[in-house]
Amino acid sequence: MLYIGDYIAFWLFAAIFIVFLTSAILTSKLMAPSRPNPIKRNIYECGQPPFGRAFSFRVTGALRYFGYAVIFFALDAFTWVILASVYSLSPLTLMAVALYTLIILIGIGYFLSELRRMVR
């Protein structure tokens, strides 16, 4: 049976963390200067001036970089899938790698087609 005494260090650390976090948030709210103006209330969108409404907004420049990052991480994960499949080479593993590769290639193709459509 588990007793709270077995985990006293964890609970002590958790309590100190919660107290510190709460006091830091409250202190920053109380001491922070508050001088709102129209420029501070304006929406900031990665250095680009905002345009249109939020519901009809199409990201043009930021999506390109986000897409490249997703492709990079997908291909990086692909490398790990290949390395992991080397340790257990079986038909099931080869099918899993083939399925993963197909999904990645479909996703990259979709991203490139959307990118081409958005840039025009």
State what percent of residues in the chain have pLDDT above 90: 12
> Could you tell me the residue range of the domain that residue 94 belongs to?
51-119
Residue 86 domain flag: yes
With bands split at pLDDT 50, 70 and 90, how would you rate the model's confidence at 44? low
Residue 13 domain flag: no
Residue 3 domain flag: no
Res 46: pLDDT: 66
Q: How many residues does the chain have?
A: 120
Residue 60 domain flag: yes
Q: What is the pTM of this model?
A: 0.41
Which of the two residues, 50 and 108, has the higher pLDDT score? 108
Residue 95 domain flag: yes
Which of the two residues, 65 and 106, has the higher pLDDT score? 106
- Number of structural domains the chain divides into: 1
Give CA–CA dist 55/48, Å, rounded: 17
Q: In sequence order, what are the beta bridge partners of 45?
A: 48
Residue 66, C-beta contacts closer than 8 angstroms, at least 6 positions apart: 59
* Mean pLDDT, residues 65-74 taken together: 77
